Structure 1
Amino acid sequence: MEIKDIKSVYFVGAGGIGMSAIARYFINRGMVVAGYDKTESELTKQLEKEGMLIHYEEDINAIPHACKDVKSTLVIYTPAIPAKHKELEFFKKGNFEIEKRAQVLGTLTRTHKGLCVAGTHGKTTTSTMAAHILHQSHVDCNAFLGGISKNYGTNYILSDTSDYVVIEADEFDRSFHWLRPYMTVITATDPDHLDIYGTKEAYLESFRHYTTLIQDGGVLIIHKGLEMKDDISKGVKKYDYSLDEGDFHAENILIENGEITFDFISPIESIKNISLGQPVPINIENAIAAMALAQLNGCTAEEIKYGMKTYAGVDRRFDFKIKNDNIVFLSDYAHHPKEIYQSAKSIRELYKDKKITAIFQPHLYTRTRDFYKDFASSLSILDEVILCDIYPAREKPIEGVTSKLIYDNLKEGVKKEMIHKEDVLDYIKNHDFEVLLVLGAGDLDNYVPQMTKILKEKYN
């Protein structure tokens, strides 16, 4: 189905961060947009305000009439939806055009210049940084992001003039194989989603295949030292980057008084005194990749400097809620051992002399089973660790796999405790903190507004 033939779009799984960005794309084009989601959230409420029709029970009768025309309706579903979902089965039996979110993004990379960011971690921040630099420059862009940009209050940027589209390329379920990038960044390839891939080798092979999809005349920007092999065509240029070496890197890094500045070293044009708008050490490498992508697509040195200085961050990515002399409180989406290591390391660099406490909700039974020792090692950088029950998402429990696996492997000297998420608010009321960090990709973040209120009252 061509985009010009679509009159209505139905989402099976409407409230996901990536799905909602595509919903906004079609809402902005004046189409009938509707869908189902399991639970109401702030995001689904916002989508409803913007004009999307959403219901929260599996019910074929709740599907709007406009979305039952097989000739003009596109159905988009998320892989997290069970195959036996009643509404999905209805559309399958009716021979509707049904596509995964990634297939729709793939179509957009064929009709726009796709600037894609892939990798186990860092892709949301890097893609959001790149989108902000480009959008506020003379180049401009559209963007489909994996998190809510604090600069724009949304995960979607629309341009009436730009042919560029920034896309977060998700490796889950091999979704990024639908894309045809004009240029792509690969940030990291630490094995993840082994419930899908089975082995580390299969995971790395998936990234190799992804590099074959880059269009002739395009570019691969890859983090230096990754274990994967790339397989680019002769018409594709390759650059590498890292913190302190590679085609693109940083020099003269200065971290002081809560600020971070550095020089951006580039084979195109080096730029002195870059100031990070969200001054977190982990963001230096993300910024290098984002600036490389922006520079290769025509952004000027001044536009890049201004874009980085005014970058405000992403919800749930090093998201500071309170930052003063009495208490520091932040939320971070980190849910892979390497992400947690980088997060903990950055916090430790910023607050060398303070007691750092993390409340961590592991995400998925399979991920906990596969990496519990790595989780424990990463969390052991911190002073105190409070573990909540595993957030199951799409999975059924696995016998013997609980948060206690991580708890038992935390290093000696780390103060530790296990609590249910329902008891988190009482725990915060009854304990003292200097730096408190909420970690994970589950639903513990729903408590963050109340936690913020409690801490503000408690520490004046």
Structure 2
Amino acid sequence: MNFENVNSVYFIGIGGIGMSALARYFVANGKQVAGYDKTATDITRSLEDLGVAIHFNDSVSEIDATYLDSKSTLVVYTPAIPNGHSEFNYFKDNSFHLLKRSAVLGEITRQTVCLAVAGTHGKTTTTSILGHLLKACNVPVTAFLGGISENYNSNLIINGTEVTVVEADEFDRSFLTLSPDLACITSMDADHLDIYGNAEELVKTFKDFSECIKPNGKLFVKNGLPLKGITYGIEDDSDYSAQNISIEDGRYVFDVKTPTGTHKDFKFSLPGRHNLSNAIIAIAMAAEYGCSYKDLSQALETYKGVKRRFTYQIKTENFVFIDDYAHHPEEINAVHQAVREMYPDKKVLAIFQPHLFSRTRDFIDGFAESLSKFDELLLLDIYPAREVPIEGVTSEWLLNKIENSNKKLVQKSQLIDEIKKSDAQIVLTIGAGDIGEEVKHIKEAFYVEN
């Protein structure tokens, strides 16, 4: 549809990270924006600060009359909305223009040069690096992020409308609505098996995504994935790779090997080889778009990261508190690698909140293996998100599988007291649920003491 004819946009599930980025986009483009979500969060409050009207009861009577004109209102919804949602059904029954978030992104990007980042891990960090690099190189870009950029304190970067950067989300096969000019696939580890059924179907859908690229477009793939494209990696024979890696003053210093030569002394502050890999593909895509390596090197050095992606909350000589969004065994392994590389001789306490009953069930042994690597572990109950409980799938089941004598199942109200009992110098909070709401309380409790 032609968004020029839309006066107002109503979001069902406006507090989601991807939905709120779209809301910001429409506000920036002069549309009237409002929405519903089930709970108030920092994200909804930041939207309200922009003038967006938000309510938290599923009730058509609470929707302003401005948004009840089917001819001038676009309704955007998240696939996580349940079938019985009364507002959704009202709009559906009254012939409103209803589009999934992914379809709206597809429409926005169709008339632009689109750079899309796909993969079961690394999308948000890679997208934010790429958006930052392009903006810093003065490219007229709009970047939709799946997290809050530390550089811009937003999940939307706007520097123009000729180029778009988007996360190509595999959940619900959403990324098949995109038609990018340049796309990358960072990983294809099994995930979202509640949607796909098995790992083979997930891989097939990533291959389908690779065929969505526009004619004469380019696909970048992590070295080792079963897809043909421009390869990238770390200290290997990829088309683009990080070489001569060292750590100086707590940041990576490395060279970038490309198909046309090697460019020296790039600097990058995010810990972890997985983040270094994300930086390499962002550099590769920006370079293929047309940015100079000199400008990219300067831009990368100013990149600060994404909130809840190995975010330092406290960083002193005797105590470090890091928060991370990791919610898959491979992501937890990446966090573990990063913290051991940066703090090889220090004791590490991890606090983990499993996300989704189905994901816990599907990867129970992987979670147990990855969580066993930490010196101490505090485990929270499973965060259900959109799911109902599955019989037998509990945090206690996971705890019993973890091979670590220093492990304990706790409630969120006990966290600060349990951390105080530990002599660990490094504390990690990990998970994609509402554990992020506990971070500020932990930070307040320990920032004064350290």
Q: Is the pair's TM-score, using the shorter chain for normalization, greater than 0.5?
A: yes
Q: Specify the code of the residue in structure 1 equivalent to 2:447.
A: K
Q: Mean alpha-carbon deviation: is it higher for 113-122 or for 426-435?
A: 426-435
Q: Distance in 1 between matches of 2:271 and 2:173?
A: 33
Question: For residue 187 of structure 2, what is the aligned residue in structure 1?
Answer: 188
Return the offset for 1:149. Answer: 0.5
Q: In structure 2, what is the Cα distance between the partners aligned to 1:367 and 1:298?
A: 40
For 1:140 and 1:121, locate their aligned partners in 2 and report how far apart those are by CA, in whole Å.
Answer: 27
Give the aligned partner of residue 209 of structure 1.
208
Alignment of structure 1 residues 8-157 onto 2, 5 Å: 8-157=8-157
- Which position in structure 1 is the counterpart of 2:164? 165
Q: Which is worse superposed, 450-459 or 212-221?
A: 450-459
Alignment check: 8 A CA contact 2:270 2:276 kept: no
Partner residue in 1 for 2:287: 295
Residue range with higher mean Cα deviation, 415-424 or 354-363: 415-424
1:256 CA displacement: 4.1
Letter in 2 for 1:187: T
Q: Distance in 2 between matches of 1:365 and 1:421?
A: 18
Contact 1:429 1:454 in 2 (8 A): no
Q: Contact between 1:260 and 1:281, CA under 8 Å: does it hold in 2?
A: no
Structure 1 match to 2:274: 282
Contact kept? 1:380, 1:414, Cα under 8 Å: no
Structure 2 gaps of 5+ residues are none
- Identify which of 282, 287, 309 aligns with 2:301: 309
Q: Is the 8 A contact 1:253 1:262 kept in 2?
A: yes
Matched AA of 1:437? L
In the TM superposition, what whole-angstrom CA distance separates every residue of 1:279-317 from its partner, at most 9, and x where no partner exists? 443311111000001100111112110111000000000
CA distance in 1, matches of 2:260, 2:443: 44
Summarize deviations over 1:45-101 as a string: whole Å, max 9, x none: 110110111000011011111111111110000011101100000000001110010
| Displacement after TM superposition at 1:138 (Å) | 3.0
Question: What is the one-letter code of the residue matched to 1:436?
Answer: V
Deviations 1:189-221 (A, max 9, x none): 001000010011111111010011000121101
Which amino acid is 2:117 matched to?
V
Rounded to whole Å, the distance in 1 between the matches of 2:133 and 2:352 is: 32
Q: Distance in 2 between matches of 1:426 and 1:38?
A: 30
* Aligned-partner SS, 2:427: strand
Give the Cα–Cα distance (whole angstroms) in 1 for the partners of residues 346 and 282 of structure 2.
31
Q: Which letter does structure 2 place at the counterpart of 1:285?
A: S
Give the counterpart letter for 1:191 in structure 2. Answer: A
Q: Which amino acid aligns with 2:48?
A: E
- Does 2:354 correspond to 1:355? no
Measure the CA separation in 1 of the matches of 2:31 and 2:323.
35
Deviates more, 1:26-35 or 1:424-433: 424-433
Contact 2:113–2:163 (Cα < 8 Å) also in 1? yes
CA deviations 1:397-448 (Å, max 9, x no partner) are 011101122212222x551111012221332344333000000000011010
Give the conservation status (yes or no) of the 8 Å contact 1:334–1:343.
Answer: yes
Q: Distance in 2 between matches of 1:268 and 1:187?
A: 22
Is the contact made by 2:272 and 2:334 (CA closer than 8 Å) also made in structure 1?
no
When the two structures are superposed, what TM-score results if normalisation uses the length of structure 2? 0.98
1-structure distance, mates of 2:209, 2:188? 12
Amino acid at match of 1:434: Q
Give the whole-Å Cα distance in 2 for the aligned partners of 1:277 and 1:163.
Answer: 29
CA distance in 2, matches of 1:268, 1:23: 41
8 Å CA contact 1:385, 1:414 repeated in 2 = no
The corresponding residue for 1:455 is 446
The one of 354, 371, 392 equivalent to 2:384 is 392
In structure 1, the residue matched to 2:428 is 437
> Cα offset for 1:277?
3.0
* In structure 2, distance between residues paired with 1:95 and 1:243: 51
CA distance in 1, matches of 2:260, 2:64: 52
Alpha-carbon distance in 1 for matches of 2:182, 2:312 = 32
Residues in 2 aligned to 1:64 and 1:266: alpha-carbon distance in whole angstroms: 54
Matching residue within 313, 316, 330 for 1:324: 316
Q: Give yes or no for the alignment of 1:423 onto 2:422.
A: no
Check conservation: 1:358, 1:436, Cα contact below 8 A. yes
SS at match of 1:152: coil
- Map of 2:361 onto structure 1: 369
Q: Is the 8 A contact 2:77 2:99 kept in 1?
A: yes
Task: State the 1:458 CA deviation.
Answer: 2.5
**Equivalent residue letter for 1:80:** A
Mapped to 2, the partners of 1:43 and 1:422 lie a distance apart of 23
Partner-residue secondary structure (3-state), 1:422? helix
Q: Does the aligned pair in 1 maintain the 2:271–2:338 contact within 8 Å?
A: no
Cα deviation, residue 275, structure 1: 0.4
Name the aligned partner's letter for residue 173 of structure 1.
Answer: D
Q: Deviations over 1:298-339 (max 9, x none)?
A: 111121101110000000001001111110101000001101
Match of 1:233 in 2: none
TM-score normalised by L of structure 1: 0.95
Return the letter of the residue paired with 2:274. Answer: I
- Looking at structure 2, the residues matched to 380 and 140 of structure 1 have their Cα atoms a distance apart, in angstroms, of 46
Secondary structure in structure 2 of the residue aligned to 1:458: coil
The answer to whether structure 1 residue 446 and structure 2 residue 432 are counterparts is: no
Aligned CA distance change for structure 1 residues 381 and 431 (closer, same or farther; 3 Å): closer
Please tell me whether the aligned partners of residues 139 and 159 of structure 2 are also in contact (alpha carbons under 8 angstroms).
no
Percent of aligned pairs with the same residue?
45
Asked if structure 2 preserves the Cα contact closer than 8 Å seen for 1:134 and 1:294, the reply is yes
Answer whether contact 2:186 2:222 (CA < 8 A) is retained.
yes
Match of 2:246 in 1: 254
**Structure 1 partner of 2:198:** 199
What runs of 5+ residues in structure 1 fail to find an aligned partner? 231-237
